[in-house]
Amino acid sequence: MAPWSGFWAGSRPALAGGGGTPVVVKMENPNWSISEIDADDDGGGGGGGEFLAGGRRRRRGKNAKQITWVLLLKAHRAAGASLLMSVFLLSVELAAYANGRGRVLVASVDSFHSSWVRFRATYVAPPLQLLADACVVLFLVQSADRLVQCLGCLYIHLNRIKSKPISSPAAAALPALPDLEDPDDGGYYPMVLVQIPMCNEKEVYQQSIAAVCNLDWPRSNILVQVLDDSDDPITQSLIKDEVEKWRQNGALIVYRHRVLREGYKAGNLKSAMSCSYVKDYEYVAIFDADFQPYPDFLKRTVPHFKDNEELGLVQARWSFVNKDENLLTRLQNINLCFHFEVEQQVNGIFINFFGFNGTAGVWRIKALEDSGGWMERTTVEDMDIAVRAHLNGWKFVFLNDVECQCELPESYEAYRKQQHRWHSGPMQLFRLCLQDIIRSKIAFWKKANLIFLFFLLRKLILPFYSFTLFCIILPMTMFVPEAELPDWVVCYIPALMSFLNILPVPKSFPFIIPYLLFENTMSITKFNAMISGLFQLGSAYEWVVTKKSGRSSEGDLIALAPKELKQQKILELAANKEQSMLKQSSPRNEAKKKYNRIYKKELALSLLLLTAAARSLLLKQGIHFYFLLFQGLSFLLVGLDLIGEDVK
C-alpha cells in the first residue's frame, strides 16, 4: 500500500498500472489579463512538472488578490475537521440515546448534548438550510437543462434529422473512383492534411499510423504529419522507423519531432501549422495517438465543407475498443455516449456550436487562421479554438453516425488526471475569454448560451452543487436535523437524471446505480479541478499524458498493414508476444509488484458519509440512510483504489 502522507496531501503523479513513464507537463500561467506583482517570487503550486517556456523553468508571481483566493479556497479542506467533529457528535448522540434507554450517563455529557441542540437550532441550522436550498435550486436548473437536451435529442430521432452536405446527392454519396489517383474523376477530393500529435505513445503509435495511412483518399491529395513530442529516445526511434516503413510503401507521410516541447499539444499543433507546405492544403484532420479512423472517414466528413463557406469544423463521435474492459470503462462509456449522442448532437443541430473534442475532427484551415490559431494558454486548447472560431462566426457540424475508435482510461489514477484537466481547463478559458465574448459581434442569445449554459451551468455549477449538496450538505444534515433535504432531492431527481444519462446506452441499464454513485464520487475531483482552474491554482496547469494500453487486436493491426508489410507485422507481433511472455515469467519481474494507491480525500469523505449513515439510523430516515451508506461505500472503494484496472 502507498504510504499515508497526510490527510489531504496530493497523490503522487505516477499513473496506475505501471509500465512506462507518465509524462507530466506544467504549463506556464498564461493569464495576461491580471497584472502580476513581484514576478520574481516563486509561483509554487504544484510540483514535479516541466514548465513549458523556452525549455526552462519560469517563476510565476501571484498578486495579493490571488493569494487571498488561495487561502479562502483551501478552506474546503476543513472537511477533514468536520469529519472529526461528526464522529464526536455521533458519539454524543449515541450517548444521549443510551441515556434515554435508562442507562446512567455523566451529567456533563447530557448537559453538553442539550446545549449543542440549542446552539445548532439557532446558529448552525439556518445557514446550512440556506446553502442547501441554494444548491437545490442550482440542481433543479441543471436538471432542467439536462431534460431539455434530452427532449431535443428525442426530437432529432423522431424526425430523423441528420446533418447532410449542402452539395448535390451525387457528390455527397462520393462513389468509389476507378482510379483514386485521379481526383478529378467525379468526386470531391480537396487537399487534406492529417495530423497525429503524440508523446511517448509506445503502445498505440502503430495502429494510429496504420489507420491514417489507410484512409480512402487519393495519395496525391493527402499528407500525414506524425507530430512526435516524445522525450524517450527509444520511442522516438520506433515511431520514426514506423513512419519510414509507410513512406517506403507509398504513403505521403512526414515525421516531426520538437526539441523544445513548448505548450504541449497546442504548441505541437501550432508548430506543425507553421510549415511552409501547409498553405497548399485546405483542410486538416486531427487524430490523437490512440484514435483509429475507418478508411471512409474523410469521405464522410470532408464533403460537408463543399458549398458551405461558413462551416469551420466537422466533428465525429468516439467509439471505444475497451468499453467492456472493467467497471470503470463501462461507467465512462455511459458518460461519453451521453455527451456525444445528446450534448454534441443537440448543440450541433440547433445552434451549430459545440466544444471541439480535440480529435476525430476536420477543420477548415482558414477557420483556424481566422480565429488566431492554436494557443498554449490553457490545457483545453480544443475548446479554446472552438470558442474563438464561434466568436468569429464559423459554424460547426457534428456527425453522430461517423465513428472513430479510441481507448478509455482503464485505471482510476489515469481517469482522475484526465478529468482534472478536462474540468480545470474550461475555467481557465472562461477567465480568459469572458471579455472577448461580451465584446464580440455575435447575437446576444449566442453570448448568453456561451456564458450561462456552456461555461457557468455545465462547467462550474454542475461540479459545485454535485460535491457540495451530496457530499457535504447531505451528511451534515444528519447531525443538524433542523436543516433537511427532502426525499425527492436525495433519491428521485438523481435517479431520473441517471436514467436519462443511460438512455443512449440501454445495454448499460444494469449499471445505473453504480453510475449514480460513481458520478457523485468523481464530484470531488471535478470540484477541485474547477476551483483550481477558476482561481489559477498550481495544478490547473498540469498536463499528465493519459496512459494507453493498446487494446486494438493483433488481427486489426495486421489487417491495416499494406501487403508488403503484413508478413513483417506478423513476425514483429509474434516476437513482441514472445518477449512479453518471457518478461511475465521472469523471477525478477515477479518480485516487482504493483501496489494500490490511497486517495485520502475519497477516504475522508467515505468516513464522513458512513458516519452520517450511522446517525441517520437514529433519525429513522430510510432513503437518506441507504444513500449515505452506498455512497460512503463507493467513496471507500475508490479511496482504496479498488475500481478500474486490476492492481496486485
Check whether residue 285 and residue 311 sit in a common domain. Answer: yes
Looking at the fold, whether 143 and 194 belong to one and the same domain comes out as no
Going by pLDDT thresholds of 50, 70 and 90, the confidence category of residue 98 is low
Whether residue 438 is predicted with pLDDT greater than 60 in this model: the reply is yes
- My answer on whether 618 and 475 are in the same domain is yes
pLDDT tens digits for 581-627? Answer: 444 444 444 444 556 789 999 999 999 999 999 988 877 777 899 99
pLDDT of 168 higher than 90: no
Residues 438 and 549 both lie in one domain: yes
Q: Do both 543 and 485 map to the same domain?
A: yes
Residue with cell 475555467: 427
CB neighbour list of residue 332: distance below 8 Å, 6 or more residues apart: 320, 323, 408, 409, 415
Tell me, yes or no, whether 143 and 261 share the same domain.
no
Q: Is 641 among the residues known to form the active site?
A: no
Q: Are residues 150 and 254 in the same domain?
A: no
Stretch among 383-392, 466-475, 514-523, 573-582 having the lowest mean pLDDT: 573-582
In angstroms, rounded to a whole number, what is the distance separating the alpha carbons of residues 519 and 233?
39
Pairing between strand 50-51 and 311-320?
unpaired
Same domain, 483 and 612: yes
* Dihedral angle sign, alpha carbons of residues 495, 335, 633, 135: negative
What are the CA-CA distances from residue 130 to residues 118, 135, 368, 469 (Å)? Answer: 18, 9, 46, 12
Domain boundary among 388, 408, 428: 408
Asked whether the predicted pLDDT for residue 10 surpasses 60, the reply is: no
Closest Cα partner for 288 from 173, 374, 202, 406? Answer: 406
- DSSP-assigned states of every residue in 50-80: EE-BTTB-------HHHHHHHHHHGGGGGHH
Q: Which of 228, 229, 290, 384 is catalytic?
A: 229
Task: Note whether residue 183 is domain-resident.
Answer: no
Our answer to whether residue 487 is catalytic in this structure is no
Confidence (pLDDT) at 581: 46
CATH number of the domain within which 373 lies: 3.90.550.10
Our count of domains for the chain comes to 2
Ramachandran class of 481: left when φ > 0, alpha when ψ lies in -120 to 50, beta otherwise: alpha
Cell numbers for 364 = 477548415
| pLDDT value at 496 more than 60 | yes
**The one-letter amino acid at 96:** A
In this predicted structure, what is the pLDDT of residue 95?
A: 61
Does 20 map to a domain? no
Tell me which residue range forms the domain holding 246.
189-408
Instruction: Express each pLDDT in 111-136 by its tens digit.
Output: 777 888 899 899 999 999 999 999 99
- Please, which pLDDT band fits residue 167 given cuts at 50, 70 and 90? low
| pLDDT, the chain, mean | 80
Same domain, 401 and 542: no
Confidence of residue 466 (pLDDT cuts 50, 70, 90): very high
Domain end (from 367, 393, 408):
408
Residue 87 has pLDDT above 70, yes or no: no
- Cβ distance 500 to 154 under 8 Å? no
Are 297 and 404 spatial neighbours (Cβ–Cβ below 8 Å)? Answer: yes
Looking at residue 94, its pLDDT comes to 63
Based on the domain organization, do 385 and 511 belong to the same domain?
Answer: no
Buried b / exposed e along 601-621 (16+ C-beta atoms within 10 A): bbbbbbbbbbbbbbbbeeeeb
Q: Is the residue at 583 inside a domain?
A: no
pLDDT, residue 320, reads 95
Neighbours of 164 (CB within 10 A): 12
Mean pLDDT of 525-549: 81
**391 and 421 assigned to the same domain:** no
The set of cell numbers assigned to 338 is 451521453
E strands in 392-498: 395-406
Domain membership flag for residue 271: yes
Share of the chain above pLDDT 70, in %: 71
Catalytic residue among 228, 288, 290, 382: 382
Phi and psi at residue 568, to the nearest 5°: -65, -40
Task: Please tell me the least confidently modeled range out of 92-96, 183-187, 361-365, 418-422.
Answer: 183-187
What is the model's pLDDT at position 263?
85
In a shared domain, residues 248 and 146: no
